[in-house]
Amino acid sequence: MKIVSQNTAFGGMQGVFAHDSKACNAEMTFAVYVPPQAVTAARPVLWYLSGLTCTHANVMEKGEYRRMASELGLIIVCPDTSPRGGDVPDEVTNWQMGKGAGFYLDATEKPWAEHYQMYTYITEELPALIGEQFRIDPSRQGIFGHSMGGHGAMTMALKNPDRFKSCSAFAPIVAPSSADWSVGAFEKYLGADKTAWREYDACALVEDGARFPEFLIDQGKADSFLENGLRPWLFEDVVKGTGIGLTLRMHERYDHSYYFISTFMDDHLKWHAERLG
């Protein structure tokens, strides 16, 4: 692991780091905010997954999480959204595929499978590295994200309920198997057999028996992607009668941007802190 940058903020340290990933077969960059409390004690860790076209930098620069993370004593880890580099396949004119659009799954189709192993990277390789390098409490982990990252957070929580104790999302893609802006990527990454897609679809996972205690979802009513891409009401319908708790908050006038995310970031951090102890 190499240090890209380090900056003091609210008594803690905001760092950006890079390492050679075996899972993604590429150098990966990620950000970690370490609160001042981590100097003397292991702290809960909260994973934030970004959306389409983003990197670790979007939430780091616009998410406004450091003040509250410092107050609550939360370590915030912000991975990249896909592998990068000259050897990594891409579709330069398609923002919904390739670099910046890893969809937090393990690709099985060529040429994507050699590098696009984001599910394994986020759930196995990067946590092992974070555990070695930072003073985290592995028994207290939460996960959240935005849009494509909300999709990733929800599917990872549903598939790993013993690891993650809390999960929330800003404007998540709750059913990517049928959403306009994810169907094309799923077919290219996973093949034409849609049964394989269900492993990375929050609604399908619940239908197939996956369970998680509760979710918090914030969604802007002025989001231009709401009707065709996000559709949180589908998740609201599928969790009925399952025992899964859901707080779905629909906000007038808010869109899909980081103005929306930064407005409700403190709410999410406090919500996670209550559940992580």
pTM for the model stands at: 0.97
Q: Residue 257 catalytic? A: no
- Among residues 80, 90, 218, 223, the one annotated as catalytic is 223
What is the average pLDDT across 131-157?
97
The band of 168, judged by pLDDT with boundaries at 50, 70 and 90, is very high
pLDDT on residue 179: 96
pLDDT on residue 253: 98
Q: Which residues have CB under 8 Å from 243's CB, separation 6+?
A: 211
Q: What is the pLDDT of residues 54-95, one digit of tens each?
A: 999 999 999 999 999 999 999 999 999 999 999 999 999 999
Q: Residue 147 catalytic? A: yes
Q: Residue 223 catalytic? A: yes
Query: Tokens 């990375």 correspond to what residue?
Result: 200
Please say whether the beta carbons of 104 and 200 come within 8 A.
Answer: yes
Residue spans of beta strands (DSSP E) within 74-202: 75-79, 136-146, 164-170
Enclosing domain of residue 269 = 2-276
pLDDT at residue 181 greater than cutoff 90 = no
Reduced to 3 states (helix: H, G, I; strand: E, B; else coil), residue 76 is strand
- Among residues 115, 146, 256, 272, the one annotated as catalytic is 256
> How many structural domains is the chain composed of?
1
Nearest C-alpha neighbor of 87 from the set 136, 29, 27? 27
Task: CATH number of the domain at 81, please.
Answer: 3.40.50.1820
pLDDT on residue 80: 98
pLDDT at residue 237 greater than cutoff 90 = yes
The band of 138, judged by pLDDT with boundaries at 50, 70 and 90, is very high
Burial code (b: 16+ CB inside 10 Å, e: under 16) for 211-249 equals ebebbbbbbbeebebbeebbbbeebeebbeeeebeeeee
- Among residues 147, 166, 177, 182, the one annotated as catalytic is 147
